[in-house]
């Protein structure tokens, strides 16, 4: 299993801090550094910087990845061009993750001028097929609902850039098996990882692929502090925005559907009802079930972080320590990185 570390936009890092923390990750033995993507500081540039800034510490530089780019912000050729360039800079040590983002939301589609009838599954299938073809050096002809390309090519073939699909539900997981290089998971129990791997394998076999060609990647959130209650609040604050459905939203879709499939519907419905009655975010964090949080992440003293991470990482090919800072400042970030450095993670 490869162990990476995730430094996301929510940490509020400067450009220089991204670089220096990437170097810290390389010194601690992490195989890769990952970030997420949205509008703002551009994630492929961050990955390129990590690769270049660690070349004196790791031959060719540390591996990098994005999990994930919400596809609504890009066109296929533009994203392929950026990914191919990072692939060249890194010597083939870059993984591109793509996801549907909030494509199921009419408000999200309207905000980006996307067609109102676009739906996540078909859109992601078109993106995977065309994006992987461009990155393989092919000239692409594709006339679809979400992607239209006619004779488009990059003009060169970069080192292989694996494309991971952000996947939560069974249909998207099966699509990862059918058409992606990897499935990028998020907020999973250990049992859910195993169940997801089987769905991905079924999708691969249905498409005539070897399931072993499709790797399983996941962010695992870790928040450490000797003040366990502070660490708990930090992790739950990171979790609650994913777990609760927005008022009036369909609870079978997106992350709310994902948590429901893992058996957490009753607990989350109670929290949503509290919110709708006027409970504040801090009150909801205090009411959030501790055992639910423990099943999808780790919070607590640094001494228990490696074992907690190892428990949640079982069955993955790439497990990523997604840093959740308990306190402002770099010290809280490096505390997570140091506690979960690969040499500390128990085998198996």
Q: What angle, 0 to 180 degrees and rounded to 10, lies between the N-to-C axes of helices 15-27 and 43-53?
A: 50
pLDDT band (50, 70, 90) for residue 348:
low
Q: What angle, 0 to 180 degrees and rounded to 10, lies between the N-to-C axes of helices 254-261 and 265-276?
A: 140
Contacts of 301 (CB under 8 A, 6+ apart): 224, 225, 226, 228, 231
CA distances from 165 to 150, 159, 262 (A): 24, 19, 20
pLDDT band (50, 70, 90) for residue 187:
very high
Is residue 73's pLDDT more than 90? no
Q: What's residue 117's pLDDT?
A: 76
Is residue 218's pLDDT more than 80? yes
pLDDT band (50, 70, 90) for residue 109:
confident
Higher local confidence (pLDDT), 342 or 40: 342
CA distances from 193 to 3, 173, 187, 212, 222 (A): 16, 11, 10, 15, 17
Q: What's residue 234's pLDDT?
A: 98
Q: pLDDT digit string (tens) for 259-299?
A: 999 999 999 999 999 999 999 999 999 999 999 999 999 99
At residue 347, the 3 state secondary structure works out as coil
Instruction: Average the pLDDT over 236-246 and give the result.
Output: 97
Alpha helices (H) along 4-66: 15-27, 43-53
Q: What's residue 116's pLDDT?
A: 75
Instruction: Average the pLDDT over 194-222 and give the result.
Output: 98
Which string of DSSP letters, residue by residue, matches 137-187? T--EEEE-SS-EEEEE--SS-PSP--EEEE--SHHHHHHHHHH-SEEEEES
Instruction: Average the pLDDT over 304-308 and give the result.
Output: 98
Instruction: Average the pLDDT over 132-156 and give the result.
Output: 96
Q: How much is the pTM?
A: 0.95
pLDDT band (50, 70, 90) for residue 343:
very high
Instruction: Average the pLDDT over 60-64 and give the result.
Output: 96
Beta bridge partners of 34: 6, 65
Percentage above 70 pLDDT, the chain: 100
Instruction: Average the pLDDT over 167-176 and give the result.
Output: 97
Is residue 334's pLDDT more than 90? yes
Q: pLDDT digit string (tens) for 194-203?
A: 999 999 999 9
pLDDT band (50, 70, 90) for residue 102:
confident
């Amino acid at each position: 299993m490869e162990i990476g570390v995730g430094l996301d936009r929510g940490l509020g890092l400067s450009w220089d801090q991204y670089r220096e923390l990437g170097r810290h990750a390389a010194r601690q033995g992490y195989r890769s550094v990952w970030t997420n993507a949205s509008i703002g500081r551009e994630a492929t540039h961050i990955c390129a910087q990590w690769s270049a800034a660690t070349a004196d510490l790791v031959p060719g530089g540390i591996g990098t990845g994005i999990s994930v780019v919400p596809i609504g912000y890009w066109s296929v050729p533009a994203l392929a061009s950026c990914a191919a360039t990072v692939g060249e800079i890194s010597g083939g040590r870059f993984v591109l993750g793509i996801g549907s983002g909030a494509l199921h939301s009419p408000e999200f589609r309207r905000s980006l001028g996307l067609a109102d009838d676009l739906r996540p599954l078909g859109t992601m299938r078109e993106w995977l097929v065309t994006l992987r073809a461009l990155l393989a050096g092919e000239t692409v002809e594709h006339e679809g609902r979400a992607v239209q390309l006619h004779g488009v090519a990059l003009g060169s073939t970069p080192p292989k850039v694996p494309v991971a699909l952000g996947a939560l539900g069974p249909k998207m997981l099966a699509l990862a098996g059918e058409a992606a290089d990897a499935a990028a998971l998020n907020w999973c129990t250990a049992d859910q990882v195993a169940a997801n791997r089987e769905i991905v394998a079924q999708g691969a076999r249905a498409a005539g692929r070897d399931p072993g060609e499709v790797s399983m990647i996941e962010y695992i959130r870790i928040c450490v502090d000797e003040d366990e209650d502070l660490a708990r609040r930090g992790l739950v604050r990171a979790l609650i925005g994913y777990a609760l459905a927005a008022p009036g939203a369909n609870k079978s879709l997106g992350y709310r559907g994902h948590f429901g499939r893992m058996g957490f519907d009753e607990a989350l419905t109670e929290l949503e009802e509290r919110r709708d009655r006027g409970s504040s975010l801090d009150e909801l964090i205090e009411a959030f079930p501790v055992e639910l949080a423990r099943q999808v992440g780790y919070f607590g003293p640094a001494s228990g972080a490696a074992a907690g991470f190892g428990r949640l990482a079982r069955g993955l090919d790439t497990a990523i320590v997604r840093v959740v800072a308990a306190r402002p400042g770099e010290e809280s970030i490096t505390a997570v990185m140091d506690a979960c450095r690969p040499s500390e993670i128990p085998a198996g």
